[in-house]
Amino acid sequence: MLFNQNKFHSDGTPRYFPGNTVICHLPRDGAFFHAMLDLHDQMSQFDFAAKIAFLPPSSYHMTVFDGLNNTRRSKRTWPCDLARDTPMPQCDAWAGERLRAFPGKLPDPLRMRPARPDPLRDRQGCRIRLEAVDREGATALRHFRASLAAHLGMHDAWLDRYVFHTTIGYKIQGFTAREARDYTDVMVRFQGRMAARLPEIDLGPPEFCLFDDMHAYHRQFLVA
């Protein structure tokens, strides 16, 4: 939907958008969390900030595996054993029951880092792209996600192409040409700054979370 209108009203307040997901919240005492706060402060100084719905810092996280929400019902990734018209509370319970029995594990801590800046990618979303610090971590993440997808019956041909990231906000209106240039400059600069200054971000075990909107993710249990 254009400019995230399914998630936010035009004034930036969140819409009801329930679902579930598997994420790692950012440790609030970590350098990356504080770098995200700095990015928020810098973005707020530009005119384009009025066209972004910024997220509360308490919601900052890295998604490990996208779960279920109403926008996914018509997609091929919907679980093969779950009726597409199942009410969302029952979807949450279904996913939770299966994930409690999931045997997969990730390294603890999960070692990530900001990816190198890429102007084409860094202008596309209000996010900082992340990647595993080494090949072993990248392989572990890939296997974990593939095992989760198989366990839930969610088959996704694009599974290996997922770009890990932490979102700082959502665009809710179109930018002018000048705003788009300013926005790209800020995002590329901060992606590069974080990549240079934060060689490692340690994340805890992934969490199965429920949400009613994009402002809060409520942990139910650890998927580990």
**Which CATH number do you get for residue 63?**
3.90.1140.10
Tokens read off for 4: 């995230």
> Do 159 and 145 touch, CB atoms closer than 8 A?
yes
Select from 110, 109, 183, 98 the least CA-distant residue to 142. 110
Quote the pTM value: 0.95
Write down how long the chain is: 224
Count of structural domains, the chain: 1
Strand order in the sheet with 165-167: 165-167, 127-132, 110-114, 201-203
Q: How sure is the predictor about 2, in pLDDT bands with cuts at 50, 70 and 90?
A: low
* Beta bridge pairs of residue 169: 54
Select from 185, 217, 218 the least CA-distant residue to 39. 185
What is the number of other CB atoms lying within 10 angstroms of the CB of residue 83?
A: 12
What DSSP string describes 6-58? TTB-TTSPBPP--EEEEEEEPPTTSHHHHHHHHHHHHHTTSGGGGGEEEPPGG
Domain span at residue 56 reads 2-222
pLDDT digits (tens, 9 = 90+) for 143-163: 999 999 999 999 886 788 999
For residue 37, is pLDDT > 80? yes
Q: Which of 85-94, 109-118, 156-165 has the lowest mean pLDDT?
A: 156-165
CA–CA dist 10, 86 (Å, integer)? 29
CA–CA dist 204, 189 (Å, integer)? 27
